[in-house]
Chain A
Amino acid sequence: MQLIQKYEEEMALVRGWAGWMGVALLAVALLGAPWLLRGYQLYIANIIGIKIIVAIGLNLLVGYTGQISLGHVGFVAIGAYAATHFVTALERAAFFQWLGGPFWVALLVGGASAAVFGVLVGLPALRLEGPYLSIVTLGFGLAVQQILINWPAVSGGRIGLFVPTPRIGPWWLDTDRSLYFLVWTSVVLLSLVAFNLTRSHVGRAFVALRDSDIAAEVTGVNLRYYKTLAFAVSAFYAGFGGALEAYVIQYLEPTMFNLYESIYYLAMVVVGGLGTIPGSMFGATLLSLLQFGLSRAQEYLPVVYGAVVILVMAIEPLGLYGRWLKIKLWSKTWPL
């Protein structure tokens, strides 16, 4: 067992040689994947990366701050449409040509616009809890979809919107491989941000709010600020993921952002492990792989999918990450 002597060691993101080995293996796997996987497998890898980003954002809200969201796909939709319109409108502006195309700004714009709506949804959350908050967020998700359906100027209506191909300077990101690097660089960066956030005073404030908001307020945590911040950060991740999704699929249609999707995101977070960043990754990867992998199972997919979710919850209430921690502990103390 490792002896921790300093606060920095306790806070370190990667601990010991095993940790660094793991990071190195992961890096090799991520960098090797685009040369090992074939076209549609890369596409699936890209979709999984996007789901991971959204799931991490949702976990910050649900797992860390204890605020439930049943309409998270609304933020994803806002991010997707905001980024698409931004990039379409500014594609010809000289300033952005000089920056190498507006697409990466568009990703931030997608995230930021979702964050603004995150704050708006977060405001009622100051007074609402549990089932009441669920209904507000549920309503938000449904409203966003209905507004998009009925506002063709924004959504292209049911004809949908075709998304321009992103580019950095002279490079067009029009292959699965180039999109893979875009998506997975985003996954790595946003995961690091999330890790650091949870280790900072902000993350601790979130957890304090979740465990008891009265106690948190007594100890000096600004309830209003941190609750709305949690919504804003979470929505930013969702919006960013939505913008990436727009680029990867290159087509947007309001029915893509339905209630089922919100439920799937929540399932990813819960199956993976509430209040853990790696858990979001595990959950998003497992449930997305199930969806794609079982497309052959056809009409039995919902049954299999539901059974897996129930099974994971029954065997491991802490989610996949909880199981992983147990395995890790077991291997460390082995052969005891």
Chain B
Amino acid sequence: MSTAITVPEDLWEGDNEGVITAWLVDDGSQVSQGDLVAEVMVEKAQYEIEAPAAGRLAIAKQEDEVVAKGTTIASLDD
């Protein structure tokens, strides 16, 4: 089973796009639910992205890529 990590819809208001400024966990690493895995920056505001489930991280969007709310940036595989 795979769980998507998306940029949450409630992180900021409006339709501004953000940029992935950091992956805090290496691709392929095992993470636990609630672990901080990435940072997204919008308008000089850094938002932390948590893992929604446990699993092995498969990064889909790399650092410095532009992302909108709802974008899948990685998946967590059993």
Question: Are A and B physically bound partners?
Answer: no
